Amino acid sequence: MKRLVNKYSEFIFEKKENSLKGIPYDNMIKKIEEVMKVLPSTIQFGVPSDNLGQSTSYKSPADAIQRIKDIAHYYEKRKEKVRFYCWSITFKGDFNASQELEDKMIEVDGLFHENQKKYGKIDMIKVRDYVETNPEDADEFKSFSISLDSNASRKFGMKLSSGTSSDDSEEDNE
């Protein structure tokens, strides 16, 4: 029986027992390299701009790969695991055209992971395979968003939800 969780911090505490979401950094880099074999070089990757994954900056594929390596190095130095996952994809064009392309990809099973809880929402290899068989759609892709999961980022989320973040401003103390 599932227990009702009232606070985000309780949710994170329960999730702490579970394994991290995503894949190791070297696997994510391989997926970026694979998808870039079939997509134009104008594609941008939203990658964590901080080591906790709380903000995103969009970069070229080469710069995104370097940022992922930098984050992985940060966690390796601290002897902590970090995993990466693709959670969103953005298409060019208006909403209707984007929705049509997404629907087309879903219809041929060319977009989502079977196990989204473990690996994230978007399966970049399925996207690559889709574009290989539908090269006319290659120019319709705008960006991929990649995030991270680590115990440090989960702890930070717990602090934020409980209001004990170390980012207290002077206004709060008056």
Q: What is the DSSP letter of 172?
A: H
- Asked whether residue 14 carries a pLDDT value surpassing 80, the answer given is no
Tell me which amino acid residue 19 is.
Answer: S
Look at residue 64 in the predicted model and tell me its pLDDT. Answer: 96
CB-hemisphere CA count at 13 Å for 169?
A: 2
Tell me the whole-structure pTM to 2 decimals.
0.77
- The three-state secondary structure class of 114 is coil
Angle formed by the axes of helices 25-36 and 61-77, nearest 10°: 170
Is residue 8 predicted with pLDDT exceeding 60?
A: no
Q: Pick the residue with more confidence: 173 or 81?
A: 81
Examine the pLDDT at 152 and tell me if it is beyond 90.
no
* Strands (DSSP E) found in the chain: 44-48, 56-59, 82-91, 141-150
Pair type for strands 56-59 and 82-91: unpaired
Q: Are 146 and 68 in contact (CB under 8 A)?
A: yes
The yes-or-no verdict on residue 172 having pLDDT over 50 is: no
Pairing of strands 56-59, 44-48: antiparallel
pLDDT of residue 159: 77
- Percent with pLDDT over 70 in the chain: 80
Q: Between 11 and 106, name the one with better pLDDT.
A: 106
Of the spans 52-61, 113-122, 149-158, which averages the highest pLDDT?
A: 52-61
Q: Which pLDDT score, from 0 to 100, does residue 82 have?
A: 94
Tokens of 10: 């309780």
pLDDT digits (tens, 9 = 90+) for 72-120: 999 999 999 999 999 999 999 888 888 998 898 888 887 887 776 666 6
C-beta separation of 138 from 35 below 8 A: no
Q: Using alpha carbons only, what angle is made at residue 106 by residues 101 and 107, rounded to the nearest 5 degrees?
A: 95
